[in-house]
Amino acid sequence: MSTSKHSARALGDSAAIHAPSRPLRDVTTQALQRYLATLGGHDPDGLYALVMGEVEPAMLATVLHHAHGNQSRAASMLGLNRGTLRRKLREYGLLS
């Protein structure tokens, strides 16, 4: 099985743990739709920064935990170099 197919299957399986039979993209879409619906027709300011500020630290922390704290392994899993991962961990206050 190719890496991309394996990754897609693993991601789908992981998403299924939290939302049975639903890929991560669908869960994200629904969460954004619910958020936008709460705004009463108003347009949000800085939506990209808001979403990334919520999603990115959760993703980094989860992958780092999965890698048992091994930053090199976590960086590899994320497709980042270790320096970039460390910078992002510092930005979000995730370095211990």
pLDDT in tens, 8-32: 444 545 444 554 567 999 999 999 9
C-alpha distances out from residue 11 to 4, 14, 16, 22, 27, Å? 10, 5, 8, 10, 12
Q: Quote the pLDDT of residue 2.
A: 41
The mean per-residue pLDDT over the stretch 81-87 comes to: 98
pLDDT at 67 over 80: yes
The mean per-residue pLDDT over the stretch 35-40 comes to: 96
| Three-state secondary-structure class, residue 83 | helix
**DSSP string over 38-66:** TTTTPPPSSHHHHHHHHHHHHHHHHHHHH
Q: Which domains are assigned to the chain?
A: 1-43 (no CATH), 45-96 (1.10.10.60)
Tell me the pTM.
Answer: 0.71
